[in-house]
Amino acid sequence: MSEAEFVKVKYRLTEQVAQPGGMTAGLASERAQRELAAHAGDAMKSLGNMIGRLEVMCRDKTASLDQVYEESSTILDIAGLFDKRVLCDACYSLCELVDRQRTHNKQEWTSITVHVNAARLLWTRDGQDPETLKSVVDGLWAITDRLNP
Amino acid sequence: MALDPKIRINLDRSRVLLIDDNPQALEALHAMFRGFGVRKQFKCGSGAEAMHVVKTQELDLIVIDSSMPDMDGYDFVRWLRRDAPDISKFTPVIMLTGHAARSMVEKSRDSGANFVVSKPFTPEILLQRVFWVAKDERQMVVAQGYVGPDRRFKNMGPPLGVKGRRRDDLSTHVGAATAPNLDQSDIDMLMKPAKVQL
């Protein structure tokens, strides 16, 4: 076992946050939320386009699992920044499904298509009836969990 | 533990580097940090671009997305902690993650980022992590297989029966006494030091 060296580091950030002035955490969060809201419309449009690309992949069935994973992961990334929780959960399930299919060396389009259709539904119904949307996501996880990690 | 909304935080002078290959995600991050009051932000769409910024700018915080083509977030932090100029080596890093593929789990654990924020998150969560980073008192560990903040938040000492790797780790083995027990007067002397005439 090699000897580990421990270094005490003093971050400039530590001094900066404590400087007089600035704003309260509550105000900073509110401001950030407002700034972010200005980008939400474009983001939702892009998410729709990305789901569209996944739909084409499911129709043509020629894309590789890596391509499906990449697209789904990008949706998760964008939706995640805008706190689109259910869409994120659906895409997380799709990423996990594809990752498990990669591990098992099998590509099964039916379960991928169910995920993509659900993602379209969740995107269309963003913010409506959270209980029903959650049950859709639970269903997706039931499909993903049929394949062992 | 939620961040107290009344707590004051000043990021006016902080220089923050944001790295994400997706331009939309990068803009969203930029918007959030603008809301937090950060005036100086560097935006990079790739690890290579970010490496250049690290080499030429003094930074106070780096926020990076874990999944990127070519050089992903984990590889970037690994480079930062090992090969970046000394002044930037230990710059605090917040890693943003979406889905963690099985092949990435170990890489993520060993990356050397200060905190990992999993998506989805709100600006409040991100601000909380920035605050945590500012209050992070963990030492940096420099070892052959890992460079980054100590992954143990609380130093409980080495596991039983394992020789510690820290210089100040104490042995868990209690050996036989090497000197006779103190008698009561010695103990009293320790508890009540007497005034000495010099």
Q: Is residue B4 part of a domain?
A: no
Say if A142 is an interface residue toward chain B (CB within 8 Å). Answer: no
- Cβ atoms < 10 Å from Cβ of A127: 8
Q: Is residue B118 part of a domain?
A: yes
Examine the pLDDT at B159 and tell me if it is beyond 90.
no
CATH number of the domain within which A80 lies: 1.20.120
Q: Is residue A22 part of a domain?
A: no
Q: Nearest residue on chain A to B58, judged by CA atoms?
A: A12
What are the CB-based long-range contacts (under 8 Å, 24+) for B75-80? B75/B47, B76/B19, B76/B47, B76/B50, B76/B51, B77/B111, B77/B112, B77/B113, B77/B148, B78/B110, B78/B111, B78/B112, B78/B147, B79/B47, B79/B51, B80/B54, B80/B112
Q: Total structural domains in chain A?
A: 1
Global ipTM: 0.86
Q: Total structural domains in chain B?
A: 1
Q: Do A35 and B31 touch (CB under 8 A)?
A: yes
Q: Is residue A135 part of a domain?
A: yes
Token representation of residue B59: 């930074």
Residue B145: the pLDDT is 86
Per-residue pLDDT tens digits for B100-113: 776 676 777 788 99
Residue B165: the pLDDT is 67
Q: Is residue A23 part of a domain?
A: no
Q: Do B5 and A24 touch (CB under 8 A)?
A: yes
Say if B85 is an interface residue toward chain A (CB within 8 Å). Answer: no
Mean pLDDT of A36-62: 94
Q: Do B98 and A80 touch (CB under 8 A)?
A: yes
Say if A23 is an interface residue toward chain B (CB within 8 Å). Answer: yes
Q: Is residue B194 part of a domain?
A: no
Q: Is residue A35 part of a domain?
A: no
Q: Do B67 and A73 touch (CB under 8 A)?
A: yes
Q: Is residue A5 part of a domain?
A: no
Interface of B with A in 153-192 (CB under 8 A): 163, 165-167
pTM: 0.82
Structural domain that includes position B138: 15-149
Q: Is residue B24 part of a domain?
A: yes
For residue A60, give the nearest of A100, A122, A107 by alpha carbon. A107
Q: Nearest residue on chain A to B125, judged by CA atoms?
A: A29
Residue B167: the pLDDT is 66
Cis peptide before B23 (omega within 30 of 0): no
Q: Is residue B84 part of a domain?
A: yes
CATH number of the domain within which B92 lies: 3.40.50.2300
Best A3, A34, A77, A102 residue to mutate vs chain B (most B CBs within 10 Å): A77
Say if B120 is an interface residue toward chain A (CB within 8 Å). Answer: yes
Q: Is residue A63 part of a domain?
A: yes
Best B3, B6, B7, B10 residue to mutate vs chain A (most A CBs within 10 Å): B10
Per-residue pLDDT tens digits for A23-46: 999 999 999 999 999 999 999 999
Nearest CB neighbour to B32, from listed A21, A25, A36: A36
Q: Is residue A11 part of a domain?
A: no
Q: Is residue B157 part of a domain?
A: no
Q: How far is CA B120 from CA B70, B89, B195, in A?
A: 24, 29, 66
Q: Is residue A17 part of a domain?
A: no
- Cβ atoms < 10 Å from Cβ of A42: 13
* H/E stretch holding B106: helix B105-109
Q: Is residue B119 part of a domain?
A: yes
User: Three-class SS of residue B173?
Assistant: coil
Nearest CB neighbour to B12, from listed A22, A29, A99: A22
- Cβ atoms < 10 Å from Cβ of B55: 11
Residue B150: the pLDDT is 87
Q: Which of A135-139, B67-71, B152-156 has the highest mean pLDDT?
A: A135-139
Structural domain that includes position A139: 40-144
Say if A131 is an interface residue toward chain B (CB within 8 Å). Answer: no
Per-residue pLDDT tens digits for A66-113: 999 999 999 998 998 888 889 999 999 999 999 999 999 999 999 999
